[in-house]
Amino acid sequence: MMYNTIMNKNDTNRYYIAIAIVVALFIGIVIGNINITQLGNNMPALPLPEVSDGQRGELGIDKNINEKTIDQYLGRADSVYRDMRMLEDPANYEAIDGDRYLSGLVEGFEVVPFPYLTNVIGLPEAVGSTYTGKVLFSQNDKGEYIANYEESMRILEELFPKDKKIFLMCGGGGYAGLTKSMLVKLGWDSTQIYVVGGYWYYDGEHNIQIKQGEGDKISYSFWKIPYHIIDFDKLTEKKND
């Protein structure tokens, strides 16, 4: 009788120990999931896009998230970062104290040249003309964007996901502003897109220097750049009426 009682008590103890282990494991999993979720969502809320005053506002550059503050908003899991410059732009941006070459970029930004998306309209007279080759969309006299290829919209949606916040930069802010205008006309939510402005005015801590050397010894480490290639020869031309 004593033996059975001891055995029953031992069985009961083992039962409660087993329950305690299961509960501990469950709590650990829950806490782990909460921590993972918190890490993924531990991002400050973004202010709504607000256009700057004056000439910067004409380019669509944001008042709150711009070259001076972008470091605070880098690395967000809910966002994509796009630099809209060409590696070497045919336009003479040196005429307005800029740089036709992509001499550097902000860490986390990926390059998608705006002149490959659509024909560029409205450049300052001093810089002349930019790239005039094949583009994903042509803009007609009504300001409408017409797809030139069957894949044009799909490419645009993959490069600029509609379910993400989109941060746009370029050299001086013009290509970035034109990109936002284009996306909004094609159905993107304007409140999800921020025109950060121009790399030429960035002095933060996340600069990736592409231009090397001085004078006759200047070179460009373009291999450092996360660059999205649009191979027009592999696309299917769309027959528009």
What ranges do the domains of the chain cover? 1-42, 54-234
Distance CA 203, CA 68 (A): 7
**Cβ neighbourhood burial of 25 (10 Å; 0-12, 13-18, 19+):** exposed
pLDDT at residue 35 above 70? Answer: no
Distance CA 186, CA 142 (A): 14
Q: Of 106, 98, 134, 92, whose CA–CA distance to 229 is shortest?
A: 134
**Higher confidence at residue 175 or residue 34?**
175
Distance CA 220, CA 212 (A): 6
- Residue 27 pLDDT: 42
**Which is the CATH superfamily of the domain at 54-234?**
Rhodanese-like domain (3.40.250.10)
| Backbone angle region of 198, left / alpha / beta, with phi > 0 → left and psi within -120 to 50 → alpha | beta
- Residue 114 pLDDT: 98
pLDDT class for 149, splitting at 50, 70, 90? very high
Structure tokens at 37: 């979720």
- Residue 45 pLDDT: 87
pTM: 0.81
Helix (H), strand (E) counts: the chain: 4, 10
- Residue 8 pLDDT: 54
- Residue 44 pLDDT: 77
Residue pair 137/182 in contact (Cβ under 8 Å)? The answer is: yes
- Phi, psi dihedrals of residue 105, rounded to the nearest 5°: -155, 165
Collapsing DSSP to helix, strand or coil, 79 comes out as: strand
Collapsing DSSP to helix, strand or coil, 70 comes out as: helix
- Residue 34 pLDDT: 36
Per-residue DSSP letter, 214 = S
pLDDT at residue 6 above 70? Answer: no
Instruction: Give the mean pLDDT of 78-102.
Output: 96
Run of H or E residues at 80: strand 79-83
pLDDT class for 30, splitting at 50, 70, 90? very low
